[in-house]
């Protein structure tokens, strides 16, 4: 009996030790054997939101626009200083990028970190609105109507005119494991609403499709794969030119010392097959904090480095990706973009209204 | 003194036992597992063995799993053995073969097994061929064993090929009774099974065997194969059960 207890303890110790191999900062043996959040539940909740708001996400660009671009970042792991996330959006606004995509692990779960992220995105939203959102005053409208427009959007479409408060920063994230490790889904969906959605960008007569998938648990899960197979997203009937996909968990491991979970065997092949079915132009992956760029099955796969202060205290020339898409159908251009801000002192952050301690 | 159940089983004919095994396999269909039939078998003698098993369960991508596996292990002497296996997972459309060579050495109070393995899997639904090479060392004592090694996994699909970087192979198994006992129940924890080597997804579960006669063993396994273990959000991926028979001879 004593031997049995001894070996049970050894097995438990081995289990706990295995958590130390994780790429995560927070080690939780519970999550190694059983997850504490369900991808199925998140996707069900996301689809409810998407069914009401999915069509509002689409962009219909004016005929005068010959090209547009979007920025992609990953693994910002915001704790006390959300500076890198803010810098990403600031760069996007300066360059007139149409929107900003994030591949998950935005935040390290704690409420204080989510609060800091929310404040940074609020500040970024103010800058973005000041540049792009204007009051509509013409022969039919007065300032009292309280309607605002974005001149990049075709006037006849439903998204062209909205009250000031209805204009949101075009920041499109997917959920990562760190966003929800300690039951953080409620915090994530309060801010970002959904983990499974898509939208289109209409430029000229063509549509580009942007699909965001929830793989925070290292799997798309039973429900999400069924919904994908049943075409639950809205845009299967449009003539799609380019498809871009965004999700957290990576397919390709750039080197042997990356210990983050990737997909189980059948799911790996299912996803690669599905991306080929969608005629995906570029599939973006995060999670592993390392760069990888390869063609496989006719799809370009870009795995992104992290943009956080821990991995890159001094920043770097290549932490983001900008993709430029052309109206004339040329192959989209991919370029790498730098982030350089340094982590601020706690005193400075506190003076700006950020949390600098957690309880 | 043997239990009544043991006497009952012992008095059964071969076909009755097979019928009992299949019934148990079907009963386990909501829970299934895959028995790692090549390992954990040293009970004082190295014997040739053949095993047949039935697997059922559920996988989130492929739905219900139903399949069977056949293994043959041949000892040339007390040190060297070869092992071949065939796996047919009908509903998954997964078909695999493997071959393994193993060297057994008694090292102080341990039994050490060093092995090299080649495995080929065909995933019919995605027209994907997977080639796996593995080298591992397993240390056994009476109640437990630990496996460490490395796997190289490559796959071909849609006209492209990708070889994954070396992946650590690790496994641990502890049993309630010593390996020489007539029955046993064990706990397993590992990133591989008979016909796959995973990256960082850790299987865990229960297994058992019951020596029906000196040359016959009933064995089974309940195996949970989650996704995302090392992302700390282990999530339902596959649950399988396996029940089978092993025949051993010198």
B193 touches chain A (CB under 8 A): no
* Whole-angstrom distance, CA of residue A37 vs CA of residue A167: 31
Asked if the Cβ–Cβ distance from B233 to A255 is below 8 Å, we say: no
For residue B143, being part of any structural domain is answered with: yes
pLDDT at A35: 66
B148 touches chain A (CB under 8 A): no
Residue found under tokens 């957290």: A248
Q: How far is B58 from chain A (nearest CA, A)?
A: 11
A297 → closest Cβ in B61, B157, B201: B157
A261 → closest Cβ in B61, B228, B236: B228
For residue B146, being part of any structural domain is answered with: yes
> Is residue B233 helix, strand or coil?
coil
For residue B120, being part of any structural domain is answered with: yes
State the first-to-last Cα distance of chain A, in angstroms, to the nearest integer.
42
Identify the CA nearest to B23 among candidates B245, B219, B243: B243
For residue B4, being part of any structural domain is answered with: no
Q: Per DSSP, what are the bridge partners of residue A161?
A: A149
φ, ψ of residue A312 in degrees (nearest 5): -135, 75
List A residues 215-234 in contact with B (Cβ-Cβ < 8 A). 216-219, 221-222, 225
> Is residue B92 helix, strand or coil?
coil
Question: Cβ distance A177 to B228 under 8 Å?
Answer: yes
Residue count (chain B): 250
Residues in contact with B188: Cβ distance below 8 Å, sequence separation at least 6, in sequence order: B36, B171, B172, B173, B203, B204, B205, B206, B207, B221, B223
For residue B109, being part of any structural domain is answered with: yes
Best of B151, B173, B192, B235 to disrupt the A interface (most A CBs within 10 Å) is B235
Which residues on A lie below 8 Å from B164 (Cβ)? Answer: 253
> Is residue B231 helix, strand or coil?
helix
Domains of chain A: 28-351 (3.60.21.10)
Which two tokens mark B203? 């299987």
Q: How far is B112 from chain A (nearest CA, A)?
A: 19
- Range(s) of the domain holding residue B41: 13-249
φ, ψ of residue A238 in degrees (nearest 5): -85, 150
List B residues 119-138 in contact with A (Cβ-Cβ < 8 A). 121, 123, 125-126, 128, 130
For residue B3, being part of any structural domain is answered with: no
* Whole-angstrom distance, CA of residue A188 vs CA of residue A213: 15
Q: How far is A179 from chain B (nearest CA, A)?
A: 11
Question: Cβ distance B119 to B97 under 8 Å?
Answer: yes
pTM of the model: 0.87
Which residues on A lie below 8 Å from B174 (Cβ)? Answer: 7-8, 10-11
B227 → closest Cβ in A8, A254, A264: A264
Asked if the Cβ–Cβ distance from B189 to A225 is below 8 Å, we say: no
SS (H, E, C) chain A: CHHHHHHHHHHHHHHHHHHCCCCCCCCCHHHHHCCCCCHHHHHHHHHHHHHHHHHHHCEEECCCCCEEEEEEECCCCECCCCHHHHHHHHHHHHCCCCEEEECCCCECCCHHHHHHHHHHHHHHHHHHHHHHEEECCCCCCCHHHCEEEECCECCCCCCCEEEHHHCCCCEEECCCHHHHCCCCHHHHHHHHCCCCEEEEEEECCEEEEEEECCCCCCCCHHHHHHHHHCCCCCHHHCCEEEEEEEECCCCCCCCCCCCCCCCCHHHHHHHHHHHHHCCEEEEEECCCCCCEEEEECCEEEEECCCCCCCCCCCCEEEEEEEEEEECCCCCCEEEEEEECCCCCCHHHHHHCCCCCCCC
pLDDT at B32: 26
Residue A245, judged by CB atoms within 10 A of its CB (0-12, 13-18, 19+), counts as buried
Q: How far is A351 from chain B (nearest CA, A)?
A: 35
A34 touches chain B (CB under 8 A): yes
* Whole-angstrom distance, CA of residue B187 vs CA of residue B141: 15
Q: How far is B18 from chain A (nearest CA, A)?
A: 31
pLDDT at B107: 86
* Whole-angstrom distance, CA of residue B174 vs CA of residue A7: 7
Which two tokens mark A278? 């969608």
B206 touches chain A (CB under 8 A): no
Question: Cβ distance A213 to A245 under 8 Å?
Answer: yes
SS (H, E, C) B149-209: EEEEEEEEECCEEEECCCEEEEEEEEECCCCCCCEEEEEEEECEECCEECCCCCEEEEEEE
pLDDT at A28: 56
Q: What is the H or E stretch that residue B136 is in?
A: strand B128-140
Q: How many domains does chain B have?
A: 1
Which residues on B lie below 8 Å from A217 (Cβ)? Answer: 227-228, 231, 233-235
For residue B8, being part of any structural domain is answered with: no
For residue B217, being part of any structural domain is answered with: yes
Which two tokens mark A256? 């042997």
List chain A pLDDT tens, one digit each, 359 residues.
455 545 554 554 454 444 444 434 445 556 666 666 789 999 999 999 998 988 889 999 999 999 999 999 999 999 999 999 999 999 999 999 999 999 999 999 889 999 999 999 999 999 999 999 999 988 888 888 899 999 999 998 888 899 999 999 999 999 999 998 877 899 999 999 999 999 999 999 999 999 999 999 999 999 999 999 988 776 667 889 999 999 999 999 888 777 777 899 999 999 999 999 999 999 999 999 999 999 999 999 999 999 999 999 999 999 999 999 999 999 999 999 999 999 999 999 999 999 999 87
CATH label of the domain that carries residue B58 = 2.40.160.40
Mean pLDDT for back-to-back runs of 10 residues, chain B (250 residues):
42 49 38 35 78 94 93 92 94 95 90 94 96 95 91 96 93 89 92 90 91 92 89 87 91
Residue count (chain A): 359
Q: How far is A201 from chain B (nearest CA, A)?
A: 29
* Whole-angstrom distance, CA of residue B21 vs CA of residue B53: 9
List A residues 270-289 in contact with B (Cβ-Cβ < 8 A). 270, 272-273, 276, 287
Which residues on B lie below 8 Å from A247 (Cβ)? Answer: none
List B residues 21-80 in contact with A (Cβ-Cβ < 8 A). 59-62
* Whole-angstrom distance, CA of residue A329 vs CA of residue A203: 10
φ, ψ of residue B57 in degrees (nearest 5): 160, -160
A296 → closest Cβ in B59, B162, B164: B162
Computed from CA positions of residues A307, A312, A314, A318, in that sequence, does the dihedral angle turn out positive or negative? negative
SS (H, E, C) B9-67: HHCCCHHHHHHHHHHHHHHHHHCCCCCCCCCCCCCCCCCEEEEEEEEEEEECCCEEEEE
Q: Which residue of B has its CA nearest to A225?
A: B61
* Whole-angstrom distance, CA of residue B196 vs CA of residue B44: 28
B156 touches chain A (CB under 8 A): no
* Whole-angstrom distance, CA of residue A297 vs CA of residue A300: 8
pLDDT at A270: 96
B200 → closest Cβ in A7, A181, A259: A259
Question: Cβ distance A339 to A87 under 8 Å?
Answer: yes
Which residues on A lie below 8 Å from B141 (Cβ)? Answer: none
B233 touches chain A (CB under 8 A): yes
Asked if the Cβ–Cβ distance from B162 to A14 is below 8 Å, we say: no
Which residues on B lie below 8 Å from A273 (Cβ)? Answer: 125-126, 128, 157-158
Which residues on A lie below 8 Å from B34 (Cβ)? Answer: none
* Whole-angstrom distance, CA of residue A120 vs CA of residue A78: 10
A7 touches chain B (CB under 8 A): yes
């Amino acid at each position: 009996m004593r031997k049995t207890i001894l070996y049970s303890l050894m097995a438990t110790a081995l289990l706990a030790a295995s958590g130390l191999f994780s790429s995560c900062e927070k080690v939780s043996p519970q999550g190694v054997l059983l997850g504490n959040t369900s991808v199925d539940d998140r996707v069900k909740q996301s689809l409810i939101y998407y069914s009401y708001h999915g069509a509002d996400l689409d962009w219909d660009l004016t005929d005068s626009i010959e090209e547009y671009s979007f920025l992609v970042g990953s693994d910002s792991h915001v704790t006390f200083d959300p500076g890198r996330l803010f810098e990403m959006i600031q760069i996007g606004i300066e360059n007139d990028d149409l929107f900003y995509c994030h591949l998950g692990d935005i935040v390290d779960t704690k409420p204080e970190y989510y609060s800091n992220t929310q404040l940074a995105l609020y500040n970024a939203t103010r800058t973005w609105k000041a540049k792009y959102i204007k009051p509509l005053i013409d022969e039919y409208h007065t300032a009292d109507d309280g309607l605002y427009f974005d001149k990049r959007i075709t006037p006849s479409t439903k998204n062209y005119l909205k009250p000031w408060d209805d204009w949101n920063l075009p920041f499109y994230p997917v959920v990562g494991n760190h966003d929800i490790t300690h039951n953080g889904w409620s915090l994530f969906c309060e801010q970002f609403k959904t983990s499974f959605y898509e939208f289109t960008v209409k430029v000229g007569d063509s549509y580009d499709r942007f699909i965001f998938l929830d793989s925070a648990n290292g799997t798309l899960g039973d429900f999400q794969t069924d919904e994908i197979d049943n075409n639950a997203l809205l845009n299967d009937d449009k003539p799609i030119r380019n498809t871009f996909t965004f999700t957290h968990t990576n397919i390709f491991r750039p080197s042997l010392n990356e210990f983050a979970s990737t997909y189980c065997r059948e799911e790996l092949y299912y996803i690669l097959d599905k991306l080929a079915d969608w005629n995906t132009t570029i599939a973006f992956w995060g999670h592993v904090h390392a760069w990888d760029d390869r063609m496989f099955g006719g799809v370009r796969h870009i795995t992104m480095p992290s943009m956080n202060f821990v991995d890159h205290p001094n920043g770097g020339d290549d932490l983001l990706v900008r993709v430029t898409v052309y109206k004339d159908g040329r192959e989209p251009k991919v370029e790498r973009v730098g982030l350089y801000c340094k982590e601020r002192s706690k005193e400075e952050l506190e003076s700006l209204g950020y949390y600098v301690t957690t309880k | 003194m043997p239990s009544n159940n043991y006497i009952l089983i012992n008095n059964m004919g071969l076909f009755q036992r097979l019928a009992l095994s299949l019934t148990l396999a079907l009963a386990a269909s909501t829970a299934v597992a895959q028995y790692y039939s090549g390992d954990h078998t040293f009970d004082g003698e190295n014997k040739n063995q053949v095993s047949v098993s039935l697997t059922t369960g559920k996988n989130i991508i492929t739905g219900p799993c139903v399949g069977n596996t056949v293994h043959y292990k041949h000892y040339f002497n007390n040190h060297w053995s070869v092992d071949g296996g065939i796996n047919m997972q009908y509903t998954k459309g997964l078909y695999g073969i493997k071959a393994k060579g193993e060297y057994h050495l008694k090292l102080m109070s341990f039994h050490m097994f060093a092995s090299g393995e080649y495995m080929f899997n065909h995933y019919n639904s995605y027209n994907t061929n997977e080639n796996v090479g593995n080298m591992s060392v397993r240390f056994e004592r009476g109640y437990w064993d630990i496996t460490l090694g490395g796997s190289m996994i490559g796959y071909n699909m849609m006209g492209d090929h990708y070889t994954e970087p070396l992946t650590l192979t690790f496994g641990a198994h502890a049993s309630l009774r010593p390996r020489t006992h007539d029955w046993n129940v064990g706990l397993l924890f590992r990133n591989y099974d008979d016909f796959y080597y995973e990256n960082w997804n850790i299987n865990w579960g229960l297994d058992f065997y019951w020596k029906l006669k000196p040359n016959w063993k009933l064995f089974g396994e309940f195996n949970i194969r989650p996704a995302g273990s090392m992302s700390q959000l282990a999530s339902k991926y596959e649950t399988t059960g396996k029940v089978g028979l092993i025949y051993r001879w010198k």
